[in-house]
Structures are given as C-alpha cells and as structure tokens.
Amino acid sequence: MKVTNSLLLEKFLSSTGISTDTRKIEKGNLFFALKGPNFNANILAKEALEKGASCAVIDDPEFDLGEKTFLVPDGLKALQDLALQYRKTLTIPIIGLTGSNGKTTTKELIFSVLSQKYQCFATAGNLNNHIGVPLSILSIKPNDEIAVIEMGANKQGDIKELVDIAQPTHGLITNIGKAHLEGFGGIEGVKKGKGELFDFLAQNSSTVFLPEIKNVVHEMYAKRVFSKTILANQEMPIQLVASTPTIIYQTTSGEKITTQLPGVYNFENIQMAIAIGKYFNLTDEACNQGIANYLPSNHRSQFIKSGSNQVLMDAYNANPTSMNVAISHFAGTPNDPKFLILGDMFELGEESMKEHADLGELISTFKFEKILLVGEQMQHALVHLPHAFYFPDKFGLHNWLQDNPINNSFILIKGSRGIQLETVLPFLAI
C-alpha cells in the first residue's frame, strides 16, 4: 500500500530499528528495500517479512504484498526523508565532521572522550555516505545525550546532501588533502565540497571547532561568519612529548599521557577531541582517560604483532596526503629493519600517474630495507625506486612473501580499501 511520511515515522517509532539487509534483520525491524546498480532488494521484501520485519518499504509495485509492504516512489529518498523527520524530533547536540583524512579516527576519539560523561552515539564504522548517514541518524536512541556523525564525500554536493539530513549543531573539518580528486575536480573542488559543512554551520548559527595550527581549514573558516568558534588546545593545552611508537603528550600539570595512536598526524585529532570534551564540560581527567582508552581498530593506525614482525597496519584508506604523512612518520621511527608494503591510491583521476610518481620520489629520500608496491598505479612510483619490488596485484605479493619470509622486522602496510592489503598479514606470520 502507498504510505505517507507521517505514517512511516509512526511505524519507525514503534519498530525495533531499521534494516536494509535481510541477513541481519531482527524481529520488529522496518525493512527498506534499496536498489543499486547490481542489486534490487525489492525482491527480498517477502523474505524480510518472513524473518520478522514489522513491514517492508518497497518502491516496485510488483512486490507489493498488502498491508505489511509500504509502497514509495523511491526507497532511498524515503529513507532519507524519514531520517530528516526523525532528526527534527531530536533536541540533543549533534556534532558533524568531515575532512580528507582522519575522519573516522577523530570521530572515535571524540566518542571515547564524550562517553566518559554522556550517553553518546557515534557513526558505526564508516557509515558516512548518502545511505550511512540516514541510517546513523535513525540509530540514535531516545536516551542518547549527544551524537557524533561522520560525513564522507566523493564529489561536490555530497556534504550538502548529508548536512541537510543530519542538521549538525556543531561541526569540524579535520583537514583538506588530496583525496577523491577525480570526483571533486581537483583540490579546489575538495575545499568547496568539504566546505559545505561550514556553509551549513555558518547559516544555522552553529558552533565550529578549529584545529590549533593555521592551515587550509582556517582559510576556509575565514571566508564565513560563525556564531561561536572553539579553537583546539586552548581550554586544555597539551604538548607533544613523543610520537613513536605511540603518541605521548604532557598536560600543563606535568602529567604524561600515553596513548595507543602513532604519528604526529594523530596529535591534532587528539587535540580536537579534547577541545570538544572541554566544551561539553568534561574534566581534564575525563578527557585524558578517554584519549588513553582509545584503541585503534579496523586497520587504521593499528599496531599488530604478526609472527616475529611488528606491523603498523593502516590499510583502510590511502591518498597522497595520508600516504606522505604515514611514510614520513614511519621513516623517522628508530626501529630497524623497516619494510614498506604499499598499494594503489584510488580515485585520483588524471592526477593518478603524477601522484604515484611523486610518492615514489618521496620514498626515495628515505632508507628502507625493502619496498613492496602493489597495484596497477604503483608502477608509476618505480621511476624513482628502481630497487623496489612490484606486483600488479596482491596475489603476486602473497606468493613473494611465501618465498621470501620477513622476520624480526617493522612493516608499514598502507593502501586504498579496494586493494585489501590486510590480506598479507597471514604471510607475515610465517
């Protein structure tokens, strides 16, 4: 049957939550049958109901099963509209964040800090796109006191679409770098696209959080007028003591806090999480506890012991900016021997050849025991790395590692998600 927005909201409020996957459906869920280039979940509506869904939202009349199927013009648009309706019922602070690098780590740090005092919700994993953000909003529970919503983008207009749904009351941009250049149309397109979050915050008298160090984000900030601005490292100043193997920082009282995050590049993320904690009236002790408790996961800045090797696993994503800082940090660590295992950087468009060549030039300025490059685009780095080992795909790398075991070494693994370089771990434990 056809359904109105108000009826859909009513059904959602009486449900046990949203499901878009019949493999994970729970009794009482409201099932949304979403379509994509290679799938049409309308065909699963009957299965969803049989597995306990209270009703199924479909956009194909062929699969209308009567009272328990709600027919809408577009399933995704209905999901987004429902999220917006539900968002308007929420009165809690909602922190929106985006950026080229460090979004998920920063989000999780903020969540860890705020959870010391509040019932806090944060985006699960990286559900940060046109489907993930509405699902995140609809996952906020009535007893949640604050929410942190991560927003990702591949092109201009994406962030605007997401902020119009999430309607953040507070927000931040972690940084601007060379990510998704193909979709954004270059670095100026990245600034404009990510800046859509700032546009919303400025237009809606929201609070913005800024990094301490003046950078491109500050330049973007200066072009807009905000109701309130919070600068990181002001309310609770901290000083970097060490960045390897993990960050240690010192408070104004002289206390040293040991974290589980490596690299100078993560220090700004820590400063931002503390600034937000202080803004929401957490004590210094609570902020420090939240930072110290955070344990990286999901192959992001994650230390892993594999056999006799120590692995810095950072294979969830990669772009020129994040590659440069990760490699430079790793090169500066005192550990030896050091190995690099690097995969392609995706979505760079016509800049891909140049960016991979530039990466090779950067690597050539450091000393590594061996350099292992994986993927079609990484061949362009070889012009500066004649002694590197090159593999068109990860399976060639797997075979090489079986024949040439690495032992008692320190290894950085980094590449774009599509390369799936985490699959090499078993071959480093031989």
Q: 7 CB contacts (<8 Å, ≥6 apart)?
A: 70
Mean pLDDT calculated for residue range 239-259: 95
Q: For 66-113, how does the pLDDT look when each residue is reduced to its tens digit (9 = 90+)? A: 889 999 999 999 999 999 999 999 999 999 999 988 899 999 999 999
Residues paired with 257 in a beta bridge: 249
Our measurement of the distance from residue 327's CA atom to the centroid of its chain's CA atoms, rounded to an integer in Å, reads 20
Query: Using 50, 70 and 90 to split pLDDT, how confident is the model at 315?
Result: confident
Q: For 257-281, how does the pLDDT look when each residue is reduced to its tens digit (9 = 90+)? A: 999 998 888 999 999 999 999 999 9
- DSSP-based three-state secondary structure for 218: helix
Question: What H or E segment, with its residue span, contains residue 411?
Answer: strand 410-414
Question: Domains in the chain, please, with CATH?
Answer: 5-73 (3.40.1390.10), 90-293 (3.40.1190.10), 302-428 (3.90.190.20)
Mean pLDDT calculated for residue range 4-28: 93
Which pTM was predicted?
A: 0.88
In single-letter form, the type of residue at position 360 comes to: G
pLDDT of residue 220: 96
